[in-house]
Structure 1
């Protein structure tokens, strides 16, 4: 008799396990909602990009936007290329 029961359970397992899993999931979902309570409305959080833009604007408030470094002054401080670091200065 047991081999017939095991064969039937193996054959009809998807039809039995899906409703059981569905019920367990639904009960767990509603139990978690009951424990946590209703969600509270959250404030809109600013993204990192928005925070960065605001910080950069605050830094520029007291400065003159027309007084900038020329391109030649900027190029003096650029590091040497990575490929030229190991070469000798003679070549």
Structure 2
């Protein structure tokens, strides 16, 4: 009997799982709309790229002068131990 059931399930797996997935999706969608506090999804007025560009410009304005760099002889950019390296 089990081989017949497994053969049927293997043959018609798409026809069995698709309606189950659709029902679970509809229930989840409706549950999320009930649980969600604000009913309207807030849309961004600026794109992610514009926000990133503004943030980078703000960071550049707040930082010190980029022409003043540390001495290369001091080697402050080299980690003191092998554990501090990145790769």
| TM-score scaled by length of structure 2 | 0.46
State TM-score, norm by structure 1. Answer: 0.44
**Which has the greater radius of gyration?**
1
